[in-house]
Chain A
Amino acid sequence: MVAQTVRRAAPFAAACMVLVGPFLIENRFLLKVFTFVGLNVLVVVGLAILFGYAGQVSLGHAAFVGIGAYTCAILTTRHDVEWILAFGAAGLAAALGGFLLALPSLRLKGHYLAMATLGFGELATLVFVEAEHVTGGVDGFAGIPFPSIGAFEFREPSALYWLVWGVVGVVLVLAANMTRLRPGRAMRALHGSELGAMASGVDVVGVKVRSFVMSSALAGLSGALYASVVGFISPSVFTVGASVTFLAMTVIGGTGSLAGPLAAAALLTLLQYVDALIPGVSRQTALFIQSYQADVYGLAIILVVILSPKGIAGLFRRVRDGVRP
Chain B
Amino acid sequence: MTMLKVGSITKRFGGLTAVDSVSFEVFEGTIKALIGPNGAGKSTLFNCLTGFDQPDSGTVEFKGRQIVGQKPLDTVRAGLARTFQNTRLFDEMTALENVMVGAHARQRAGFAAAALLLPSAVSEDRDAANEAARILRVIGIDEWATTPAADLPAGIRRLVEIARALATVPSLLLLDEPAAGLNVPETRELVQTLFRVRDDGTTVLLVEHDMGLVMEVSDEIVVMDRGAKIAEGPPRMIQKDPSVIAAYLGEEAVDE
Contact = CB atoms under 8 A, between A and B. Distances in A.
Given A196-B90, A200-B168, A201-B76, A174 B52 contact: no
> From DSSP, what is the main secondary structure of chain A's interface residues?
helix
Interface in B53-106: 72-73, 76-77, 81-84, 88-93, 97, 100-102, 104-106
Given A192-B92, A202-B104, 14 more contacts: A177-B116, A181-B122, A181-B124, A183-B109, A183-B110, A185-B104, A192-B149, A195-B88, A196-B88, A198-B72, A199-B72, A201-B73, A201-B102, A203-B73
B197 interface: no
A200 B110 CA distance: 17
B89 A177 contact: no
B232 interface: no
B102 A193 contact: no
Contact of B125 (A182, A195, A198, A202): A182
28 contacts: A177-B114, A177-B116, A178-B114, A178-B115, A181-B121, A181-B122, A181-B124, A182-B104, A182-B107, A185-B104, A188-B90, A189-B101, A191-B92, A192-B91, A195-B52, A195-B88, A196-B84, A196-B90, A197-B101, A198-B76, A199-B52, A200-B76, A200-B101, A200-B164, A201-B77, A201-B81, A202-B104, A255-B92
Interface string B157-190: 0000100110110000000000000000000000
A203 B106 CA distance: 11
Contacts of A114: none
A214 interface: yes
Nearest to A187: B111
Which 4 pairs between the two chains have the least Cβ-Cβ distance? A201-B105, A192-B90, A196-B88, A181-B114
B112 to A, nearest CB: 8
Contacts of B82: 199
Contacts of A174: 115-116
B246 interface: no
Given A178-B114, A182-B125, A201 B109 contact: no
B109 A195 contact: no
Contacts of A177: 114-117
> From DSSP, what is the main secondary structure of chain B's interface residues?
helix
A185 B52 contact: no
B128 interface: yes
Chain A interface residue number, banded: 20 to 34
Contacts of B109: 181-183
Interface in A195-240: 195-204, 210, 214
A195 B72 CA distance: 9
A184 interface: yes
Nearest to A174: B115
B50 interface: yes
Chain B interface residue number, banded: 35 or more
A72 B115 CA distance: 25
Given A185-B100, A186-B104, A196 B110 contact: no
Contacts of A199: 50, 52, 72, 76, 81-84, 88, 165
Given A192-B90, A201-B77, A186 B101 contact: yes
Contacts of A202: 73, 101, 104-105
Contacts of B91: 192-193
A256 interface: yes
A176 to B, nearest CB: 9
A192 B73 CA distance: 17
B92 A198 contact: no
Given A185-B104, A192-B91, A199-B81, A204 B124 contact: no
A175 interface: yes
B82 to A, nearest CB: 5
B144 to A, nearest CB: 17
A203 B74 CA distance: 9
A175 B111 CA distance: 9
Given A193-B89, A199-B50, A178 B76 contact: no
Nearest to B110: A183
A202 B73 CA distance: 7
Interface string B14-46: 000000000000000000000000000000000
A129 B7 CA distance: 60
B90 A193 contact: yes
Nearest to B93: A188
B115 A196 contact: no
Contacts of B164: 196, 200
Given A196-B88, A200-B104, A201-B104, A214 B97 contact: no
Contacts of B92: 188, 191-192, 255-256
A15 B139 CA distance: 44
